[in-house]
Amino acid sequence: MDKKTILLLVISVLILLGMLYFVGIDQVIAALKMANLYLIALAIGVQVCTYFLYTFRWKILNKIAGMDVSFKKLFPMLLVGLAVNNITPSGRGGGEPVRAYLLYRDKEEYTFDETFAAVVADRALDTFPFVILAAITISSMALFFDFELWLLAVMVLSVVVILAILFAIIYMCINPSFGNRVEGWILAIVRKFYKKNSESVENSIHDAIVGFQHTMIVLMSNKKGLAYTLTISFVIWAFEILRVYLVFSAFGANVNLIVIGEVFIVSCLVGMIPLLPGGLGTVDGLMILLYSAAGIPASVSAAATVIERLISFWMATMLGMAVLPYYGSSVLNQISFTDSPEEIEEIVESQSNE
């Protein structure tokens, strides 16, 4: 783990500790002591189920794209990807190139472009239900929460941007000429900011876009596969909200499931801003504030948020880091904490030339 990542994690933890100190650590500890361990164990079980659902969806997408990989192979790769997502300030996208690389390295009959395209398609499918839930959440929270106008505008703008990107991704697969224009825009940006090995990077981007278009076209033409994967995506988000509800129920908090879902979706929006690893600190603080605003005592909100983040953030991080030595190589150490698929592609190419 590089120094920058460690520093950001330390800052994130300090922010969380500051929030707990502000609430009152003694009160938080008292709330933790009264927690229902059975419900917390159930929340952990729900989280483990989401790992399996993530893996199952990825397996279906790989199969549609012509890559038949076993669940047993994909599951540890997914855990590593989740861990890298959590410890890199990459808007929850740093782990996607890493798991694509791990699959490429494990199954050398597939190219990196193919594995990366399937991972990007997997991420797009995860985004679709999130956009719908976020739009509903912001609409309802505007009615039930006394938000500042600027904050509401930022949330609306965030959803609009995500929705625009999602539709652009789908449209570029349906309309090849639009895909070419998107590629041209990306390459123009790359030429401005990426001087070293520009041609290699441009070729990598072209191959990734073409591979992604092919994968998405195959997926969209497979109605049965699309229905399965979209259904799994909605179930995953339902499980995520259920996990949070179980944690708060463990502390005896009388809170509506809809309010839990609303705060969770808003927190996810904030967590996608690439400032701190996994939104740690900022997301925790926002959750405590919003749940307190919904009528839950601050000490209970803080205690429940700590347990919830231990399950959703730290459990995935620890499991992924525990699995990482299984793939132990100096090359993986170089790419584990990067959020640039182009940089990974350079490593892939250098390996091929050796």
The structure's pTM equals 0.76
One-letter amino acid of 10: V
- Say if CB 306 and CB 43 are below 8 A apart: no
Q: Is 203 exposed, middle or buried (0-12, 13-18, 19+ CB in 10 A)?
A: middle
DSSP letter, residue 67? -
Nearest to 89 by CA among 251, 276, 265, 294: 276
Q: What are the residue ranges of helices labelled H in 24-148?
A: 25-33, 37-64, 71-87, 95-106, 112-144
DSSP track, 292-350? HHTT--HHHHHHHHHHHHIIIIIHHHHHHHHHGGGG--HHHHHHTT---HHHHHHHHHH
Q: What is the pLDDT along the chain (354 residues), one digit of tens a residue?
A: 556 556 656 666 666 666 666 656 666 676 677 788 899 999 999 999 999 999 999 999 888 888 889 999 999 999 988 888 877 655 555 677 788 888 888 777 787 777 887 887 888 788 788 888 877 777 776 666 666 666 667 667 767 777 777 777 777 777 777 777 877 776 776 666 555 556 666 676 676 677 667 777 777 788 888 888 989 999 999 999 999 999 888 888 777 777 787 788 777 777 666 555 555 556 777 777 778 777 788 788 888 888 888 888 888 888 988 888 887 644 445 444 444 445 555 555 555 455
One-letter amino acid of 261: G
DSSP track, 228-270? HHHHHHHHHHHHHHHHHHHHHHHTT----HHHHHHHHHHHHHH
Which residues lie below 8 Å from residue 302, measured CB to CB, with a gap of 6+? 19, 20, 23, 27, 28, 31, 288
